[in-house]
Amino acid sequence: MAYIMVDIEADGPIPGDYSMISFAAVVVKTGLEQSFYATLKPISNNWIPNALKVSGHSREQTLDAAEPLVVMQDFDRWLTEEVKERPYFISDNNGFDWQFINWYFHHFLHHNPFGHSSSNLGSLYKGIVKDTYKDFKHLRQTEHTHHPLDDAKGNAEALLIIKQQYGLKIKL
C-alpha cells in the first residue's frame, strides 16, 4: 500500500453544490519527490467568498482553471504511473478532503482509485500519543499556507516524523 497525503481547497462546504478549486497529493516516502497539484474550474455557480478567500484565489482565477474532467483524468493517470502499489488516501481532515476527491472521481470518472477507505492524520497522532487533545501540527516542517501542495507536504513530513520518532509501524 502506498500512502498518498492529500489536501484540497474548496469554495464551499460540500461537493456538488460547491466546487473543489485546487488540490495536491504527495506520495509519503523519504524525500517527498512525487507530487501532483492542480486547479479546477468551478462546477457550480454557488460559492462562498470567505471559503474561497482561504485559498488565495479569486473567483475570476478559478473560472480560468482547467476542466475538472481533465484534471481528474490526469490525477488518475498520475496515480497509476507514480504509485506501483494500491494508493491509500490520508489527509489532515479526511472528512472534508475525502468527500471532494471521492465525489469528483465518481462524478467524472465513475470510479475512485483510492477505493472506499481513508485515514485521518490527526486521529492517528492522537492514538499514538494517547491524548485526544494533542495535535500533530507542530511536526510539520513546511509552513501551512492553505496552498494544497504546501499543506500536503507538511502533513506528509509529519507522518514521516511520527513513523521515525514514535515508532509507527507503517510501510512507506
Active site residues: 146
151 grid coordinates: 499543506
- Determine the Cα–Cα distance for residues 61 and 161; give it in Å rounded to an integer: 36
Which residues contact residue 106 at a Cβ distance below 8 angstroms, ignoring those fewer than 6 apart?
Answer: 112
Nearest to 74 by CA among 119, 24, 31, 134: 24
* Eight-state DSSP code of residue 18: B
